[in-house]
Structure 1
C-alpha cells in the first residue's frame, strides 16, 4: 500500500467508512524495525479491516528521543513499514504526538504496545468518546530498538580508547556537567527555544504555567515558578505560575485518598484551564505521577512542556515541546534542567518587555 500524506489518508478514510471497514491505527518511531514491531503490527491488523500506521517524522523523533535519533530516515522507515503485509497505509506526522492526526482520522481501534498503559495513550479519549476501542497489546519479550542501540553503543565504548587528559577525582562531575551542557547547546537549542516560546506565548495570552516533578525536580519546579511570579533578570509584571509541589495539605490529602500517582493530576484537574501550559520535570521520564498529570493536562487542552533525560522517551512522547537532555545520569540531567529553566525565564522576560506590557 502507498505511503500517504494526510489529505490522501483522510480521503481514503471516507472510502473505508462507506465500505463499513474497521480502521485500526497505531503509531511510533519504528527506528530500526525488528521482530517485536512486526508481531505488534500483525496483532493490530487482526483487530480490524485496515491498519494505518503513523510514523514520527525525523524532527519528531529527535524531539522525543533526543538529538542522536533517528538512525533511519523517515522515508526509509515509512517504506519498510509499507512493505509489510499487515500494513495497509503509512503516514508521517511532524508533531511530537499524533493527537491531531488521530482526531482527524477517527479510527475505530487505537493500539499501542504493552509498555503504554491505556491511560497514557495519546488520543485514547477521542477514540473512546466516539465509541471506539483503545488497546495496549502485550509486547514480544526481548525486543527493543533502544536496547539494540544501547548494545551497539556499549560495544563501541568498549572498543574506544580512553580520552587523553580526562579529568578525574572530585572534579570529574564538573567536567561531565560541562560536557553535557556543551552537547545541550549544540544539539538541543532548537527544542529549548521552542519550549520557551510556547511558555512565553501562553503567558502573553493570559494563561498560566503549572510545574511539577519529584525530588530535585520538585525543587526546580518551585524555583522556576518563583522566578516567574517574582522576576528573573529585569523588572516586569508578575506572571501566573504555580509549582504543584508546595501545598502539603493537598499533596497529603490526595496521596492518602487517591494514591501518590494522583498528587499532581488532581491539582491539574482543579487548576488548569484550556490555553494554560504545564511543565513536567522528570529525569527518568517514567514517574507515574508526572505522566498522570501530563495526561490530565492534555485532557484539559493545555500545552505540555517536558524536560527529561536520554532514556525519558515515555515523557517525551507525551509532550508538545519536549527537551531531552543528552545524558542518562540523574545529577547531570538535573543540572541541565536548571539551566534550561533559566533560559526560559530570560526568554519570557524578553517577550514581556518586547510586548511593552505594564
Structure 2
C-alpha cells in the first residue's frame, strides 16, 4: 500500500465527534419529598457548551470547544451539531426534548445522538438506576470530581455558580474515551446497592457509542416525536389541553398572539423589539408547566389567551429578555437560606421585579 493510500485511509478513519452539555435558565428538576419533577419539555435553555474532537478508533483528539450563550441558544446549538458525524452528551435525549420545544430538532441530529446516560441506565438494568449521573460516572471511571453539582436547584441557575457547561462536555468526552478504551463502564452506589459496580461493554454497546448503530433509546425518542407530529391536526377541536409533550415548536403555527404582546411591551420600552419566534416560545418555557401547555395549545388551536395567561406570558417575556437580572434575583433568593445579609439585597431586587411586573400589567390591561 502506497503512502498516499495510507494517508487517505487514515483521514477516513478519523470520525468527527461533538460532545455537548446544556445549562438551563428555568425549569430544572426540583428536588424534595413530594415535589413533582418538571419534564424536560418545560426547561428553558440558557447556555450550551460544545467540545469538538475526532476519533480514529484508538484515541481521541480534542480540536476545540465553544460556549453558546445569549439569544437563540437552541437554534445556534442545533446549527453547530449539524456538522458532527456523532453527537454525544450525558442526558442528551432530554436536552433535545427541551430544545425541540423552541426550535425543531432535525432528524439528522436526532439520529446522530449518543446518550451516555441512556446507555448507563441500560447497563445497570434496574427500575431505579441510581448512580448513573455524570458526577458518579466520572468519579467511578475517571477518579475526578465534578465541579457542577449533580442536583440542579429548583430556582434555576442559582446553584450553577461559576461552572461552565464546557467543563461537563470535556468530562463527557473523557468518560466516553475511557469507556471505549477499557470496554467497561462503572456506576455509583444506589439505595439498593451499597457499593459501586461495573459492566463489560459488548460490541453492540461500542457500536452505539461510536454512532455506527442507532441507540434503541434514540429510536423510541424519534417514534414518540412522530406520533406527536401526527396528532398536530387533531388539537383544534380538543376540549382538554393536551400534555406539554405534544406541543413542540414543529407542531405550532407562528405565535402571533405572543408577538402581539411582545410588540406592545416593546412600544412601552420594556423589552427589545423584533424578537424571533424562538425567543417568543422561550417565554413560554419561563412559565409553569400547566401555563406553558395552555399557551401552546391556544396557539395551535387559534384561540385567544385568557387575561390571566396573557398577564403571566407578558411577565415571562420580560423575564426571558432580562436574564442577568433574573439570575441575580434567583441566586440571591437561594443565598437567603444560609445568609441573613442576603435578605437586604433580595428586598431591593424584589421591589424592582414588582415594579417591572406592575408596568407589564398596566400595558397589558389595556388590551
Q: Fold conserved (TM > 0.5)?
A: no
TM-score using structure 2 length: 0.28
TM-score using structure 1 length: 0.29
